[in-house]
Amino acid sequence: MAPKTGEMLHLRGNALNAGEPVALPLTQSSMYHLPGVTEGLATYGRVDNPTWEHLEHVLAHLEDAPCLIFPSGMGAISAALFATLKAGSRLLIPSDGYYVTRVLADQFLSGLGVSVTERPTTTFTEGGFDGFDVVFVESPSNPGLDMMDLPAIAASVRAAGGITVADNTTLTPLGQRPLDLGVDVVVASDTKAMGGHSDLLMGHVASRNAQIMEQVEDWRRVSGAIPGPYEAWLLHRGLETLDVRFDRMCTSALVLAERLAEHHAVKHIRYPGLPGDPSHTLAKAQTTRFGFLLSITLETEDKAETFINSCPMLRPATSFGGVHSSAERRARWGDDVDPAFIRLSVGCEPVEELWQSIETSLNVL
């Protein structure tokens, strides 16, 4: 079911006592006043923090599942994988998803005795899921925007005795709800649209499996991969406008995609919301919005660079999901894409202003 974002905005207010601040207080403390018995009390800043706790309460409302926050998306992904894998485990990951997840698997997990297999997103089910302990999925993939049939994959993995972990960064819980589609664990980088203002790094893990969440929490406490209270406070503030930002961004992305598809400078476009897009059928079946990310391929790398660097309403930057539209050539990080392939993150600018700026810059290439 879609998260009730109105209820989310009043989660704190409806639990307040008279005279308490309406805005979430930032608790910046490593110590707690602990005379004698400590049972049931906050103990130490690596274990407890009231600002985190309220943020997790809001995230749990969005995910409809218990949540734990981490200092970055990779912190959350590491926690989910270290909590579910051990020496001898078999892990399956996409070969064309967010590349740092692959680095984690290849450079660190495989050295600890985890056997790692990679498959492309579009043929992910080929070969089945027998023998895999953890199947990590990302749909739509970053940056290709290919999608996977999440309910079918989650069901086959479960039948084969494994668990699925889904990276839901690109769509947020407002665009797609992997747990409702049968996935066991959701991980996300809240650095992107969830925070939305390009001023913080954060991540979270969500799951309805209590045993997994207990392991993830133990991992956080023991590894020390804890978020700073200030970042938690900022993310909470960002979440209060997630609904309006995400709505504007997805609506504008569809308008821009339709127009970009017709522009002579654009050789190729991917946006799951376009009826001809290879991801369209899956997107219609399992997402509630088509997202704010699209990709265009121009004629040459030079033209792509000129466009990104000269369009006054595109920040030439890595990362995405901010209020400011941004773009970059993904080949510069080694993603297996055309050198003129641009990932474009549509922000909150009024769409006609944004289109005018993009069109003008494309026209002069």
Ligand X SMILES: *Cc1c(COP(=O)(O)O)cnc(C)c1O
Question: CA separation (Å) from 327 to 1, 230, 255, 304?
Answer: 32, 28, 17, 10
Stretch of 34-42, 67-75, 205-213, 228-236 contacting ligand X, by CB under 6 A: 67-75
Residue closer to ligand X by CB (options 3, 203) is: 203
How many residues of this chain bind ligand X (CB under 6 A)?
15
CB of 154: closest distance to ligand X in angstroms?
A: 18
CB of 140: closest distance to ligand X in angstroms?
A: 9
Quick one: which of 3, 66, 73, 173 contacts ligand X (CB under 6 A)?
Answer: 73
Residue closer to ligand X by CB (options 201, 313) is: 201
Quick one: which of 72, 139, 164, 295 contacts ligand X (CB under 6 A)?
Answer: 72
H or E element: which one contains 325?
none
Question: Quick one: which of 236, 221, 194 has its CA closest to 83?
Answer: 221
Indicate whether 344 belongs to the interface with ligand X (CB under 6 A): no
Indicate whether 167 belongs to the interface with ligand X (CB under 6 A): yes
Stretch of 32-40, 71-79, 214-222, 223-231 contacting ligand X, by CB under 6 A: 71-79
Strand order in the sheet with 341-345: 268-270, 293-297, 341-345, 326-329, 315-316
Quick one: which of 171, 174, 201, 249 contacts ligand X (CB under 6 A)?
Answer: 201
Strand partners, 136: 165
Strand order in the sheet with 115-119: 67-70, 203-207, 185-189, 163-167, 134-138, 90-94, 115-119
Query: What is the Cα–Cα distance from 140 to 147, expressed in whole angstroms?
Result: 4
CB of 141: closest distance to ligand X in angstroms?
A: 8
The answer to whether 295 touches 344, Cβ cutoff 8 Å, is yes
Question: CA separation (Å) from 334 to 109, 189, 341, 344?
Answer: 21, 20, 12, 17
Residue closer to ligand X by CB (options 239, 362) is: 239
CB of 74: closest distance to ligand X in angstroms?
A: 4
CB of 170: closest distance to ligand X in angstroms?
A: 6
State the virtual CA torsion across 293, 198, 150, 107 in degrees, nearest 10: 110
Residue closer to ligand X by CB (options 172, 361) is: 172
The answer to whether 216 touches 80, Cβ cutoff 8 Å, is yes
Structure tokens at 359: 């069109």
In the bound state, the residue with its beta carbon closest to ligand X is: 73
Q: What is the contact mask toward ligand X in residues 172 to 191, using x (rule: CB under 6 A)?
A: -----------------x-x
Helices (H), 24-98: 50-63, 73-84
Question: Quick one: which of 184, 286, 223 has its CA closest to 74?
Answer: 223
Residues 84-143 within binding reach of ligand X (CB under 6 A): 98, 100, 138, 142
CB of 189: closest distance to ligand X in angstroms?
A: 3
Quick one: which of 196, 203, 238, 347 contacts ligand X (CB under 6 A)?
Answer: 203
Residues that bind ligand X (CB under 6 A): 72-74, 98, 100, 138, 142, 167, 169-170, 189, 191-192, 201, 203
